[in-house]
Structure 1
Amino acid sequence: MARTKEFDEQVVLEKARDLFWERGYTATSIRDLEEHLGISRSSIYMFFGGKRELYDRTLAAYRDENMTRLEKTLGAAEDLRQALIDLFTATARQSHPDCKAQARGCYVVNATTEMANSCAEALSFAAESREQFVAIMKAALARAQEQGKLEEQADPAELANYLFVCYNGLQVVVQTNIERATLVKAVVRGVEGLPWT
């Protein structure tokens, strides 16, 4: 007879994500997951496939949620320049009470720095994440260009890649003890430096 779930899968995924986010994949054991999630090892394997599969699912869910939000935000923006400033400054000001270094950064970026050098699947996931981010940015920049808000000779793909590099670098730097005002000035300068009209 098949076992039935005695837990809310979405809640488990969110709790697992937060634990992996705090400790990283390598430092999180199955026992840690059992204690934190309140479900047995056998349930983790039966319903999620194991530690790595659970981790991958939390990453995919996090990425999907954030890419959807980014696409919706930039797609609805009447002033892309200001929308990008708002996005980057909000990221620069992020904080988390449990972090000695003030912020947790991006879950996907953290996974990339921990896993991509040693895991082909993680490297592939990071590449897919970059492609999604760049595609969303490129579409938004192309719309701004059509509206006459971005110089005609500008290359939306090149600028989208530039913003990806800036945003991911920001997600790492925000985890250091840099003063937020200094970081905000830097990211505003980066966005203002795009070839707006």
Structure 2
Amino acid sequence: MARAREFDDTKVLDAATDLFWRQGYAATSVRDLGEAMGLVPASIYNAFGSKHALFALCLDRYLDRNMRERIERLEARQTPRVAIETFLNEIVARSLADPRGCLLVNSALEVAPHDAEVGAVIAARLDELEGFFHRCVLAGQRNGSIAAAPRARDLARLLLTTVMGLRVLARSKPEPALLRGAARQVLALLDPPVTEQTK
């Protein structure tokens, strides 16, 4: 019979996530994790298998909480054009408020180039984000709130690139005017052209 865990999964995983987020994967040792999580290294290996497996779990939980939940909330409550604008504005606000940056972007830069498993997780989540933007753009083009050109797929990819760029830029130059201005210019590309009828 398996022995019940003597710790709170949520609490220890939150502690591990915070440490990976602040220090990066390579700079975080199992000893560091044990101190942050309140566990001895043997307990970490018994519960999670390895540092790599623990990191993958932390990254997946982070993405569920921060990206997937945001997408679901915005698609359920906002019109397509507003959903995109709200997503970008929230990204700017989070980038300015949290000096740790984005764990997804940090991991994409540090871990993914050398780790096929983590790289596959990140690629799949970026596909989800592009899919969200693509659905919003298509719906907005149908209802006239988003310009009919460029192609929806191209706009979705531009929005994905913008999110990643904002997150990276915020790490070295977290200036509100810079980040908000960049987001504003990209959003302007979504606006339908002004005609005599819409003036």
Out of 106, 111, 116, the position equivalent to 1:110 is 106
Give the match for residue 7 of structure 1: 7
In structure 2, give the amino acid aligned to 1:8.
D
Q: Secondary structure at the match of 1:4?
A: coil
Q: Which amino acid aligns with 1:179?
A: E
Distance 1:75 1:192, change over 3 A: farther
Instruction: Determine the structure 2 residue equivalent to 1:84.
Output: 84
Matched, 1:158 2:159: no
Contact 1:81/1:192, CA 8 A, preserved across alignment: no
Gaps of 5+ in 2: 194-199
Letter in 2 for 1:134: E
One-letter code aligned to 1:70: I
Higher helix fraction (1 or 2): 2
Counterparts in 2 of 1:71 and 1:155: CA distance versus 1, 3 Å: farther
Is 1:28 the counterpart of 2:24? The answer is no
The residue number in structure 2 matching 1:54 is: 54
Aligned residues: 191
The question of 1:144 aligning with 2:140 is answered: yes
**Deviating runs (4+, > 4 A) in structure 1?**
none
Shift of 1:87: 2.5
Determine the structure 1 residue equivalent to 2:75.
Answer: 74
TM-score when normalising by structure 2: 0.87
How many Å apart are 1:83 and its aligned residue? 3.4
Kindly indicate whether the alpha-carbon contact (under 8 Å) linking 2:148 and 2:192 is maintained by their aligned counterparts in 1.
Answer: no
Aligned to 1:182: 178
One-letter code of the match for 2:140?
A
Match of 2:129 in 1: 133
Other structure's SS at 1:93 match: helix
8 Å CA contact retained: 2:84, 2:136: no
What's the % identity of the aligned pairs? 31
State the one-letter code of the partner of 1:71: E
- Measured in 1, the distance between the counterparts of 2:4 and 2:40 equals 13
Decide which moves more: 36-45 or 146-155: 146-155
CA distance, structure 1, for counterparts of residue 188 and residue 150 of structure 2: 14
Aligned to 1:193: 189
Identify which range, 45-54 or 147-156, moves more after superposition: 147-156
Moved more, 42-51 or 146-155: 146-155
SS in 2 for 1:6: coil
Q: TM-score, normalised by structure 1?
A: 0.88
Report if aligned partners of 1:151, 1:195 keep a CA contact under 8 Å in 2.
yes
Unaligned stretches of 5+ in structure 1? Answer: 97-101
Which stretch of structure 1 is more off in the superposition, 1-10 or 23-32? 1-10
| Whole-Å separation in 1 of the counterparts to 2:178 and 2:109 | 24
Post-superposition shift, 1:153? 4.5
Please name the residue that 1:99 is paired with: none
Q: Distance in 1 between matches of 2:169 and 2:148?
A: 32
CA deviation string 1:149-187 (max 9, x = no partner)? 123344222111111111011111111134212221121
